[in-house]
Amino acid sequence: MTPELNWLALTALLTALMWIPYILNTIQVRGLSNALGYPDDPKPLDAWATRLKKAHYNAIENLPVFAAFVLVAHLAGITSQWTVYACAGYFCARLAYTVVYALGIPVLRTVLFAVSWVCIMTLAGAILL
């Protein structure tokens, strides 16, 4: 497997596991029956869990764009140290973004999102230029 595909797989795994902490908080705060159901007036989650849920949604929204560029580059045989750096950078930025968002650090969160976007644009440039 190429390094780019490896980073894509790790990014998908990260995204696939992000829901676990906030679901555990949902069970802790609301109880199992309310966590599994649709309570009329659910108790709010802890602030970190609410932010982690938002970070997870953001990861889900951005994963298809990242995956598309990684897969197009792979199918086109486009690989370089820059595509590997872009994929590794995307994963690291998304991991850090998740932690920083859950901790509630707004400015750094935005910077890390911008880094992940630059990584996506680096892949796009490698394909289109």
Which tens digit of pLDDT belongs to each residue from 56-71?
A: 999 999 999 999 999 9
Tell me which residue of 70, 58, 55, 69 sits closest to 6, measured CA to CA: 70
- CA dist 88 to 15, 29, 57, 97, 129, Å? 15, 36, 21, 14, 21
Q: Which CATH number fits domain 3-128: 3.30.160.100, 1.20.120.550, 1.10.645.10, 2.40.50.140?
A: 1.20.120.550
Distance of CA 27 to the CA centre of its chain: 23
The predicted model scores a pTM of 0.95
> Is the distance from CB of 15 to CB of 61 less than 8 angstroms?
no
Q: What is the pLDDT averaged over residues 82-88?
A: 98
Q: What is the DSSP letter of 38?
A: -
Tell me which residue of 35, 62, 34 sits closest to 119, measured CA to CA: 62
Q: Give the per-residue pLDDT at 14.
A: 98
* pLDDT interval class at 32 (50, 70, 90): very high
Between CA 4 and CA 17 the distance in angstroms is: 20
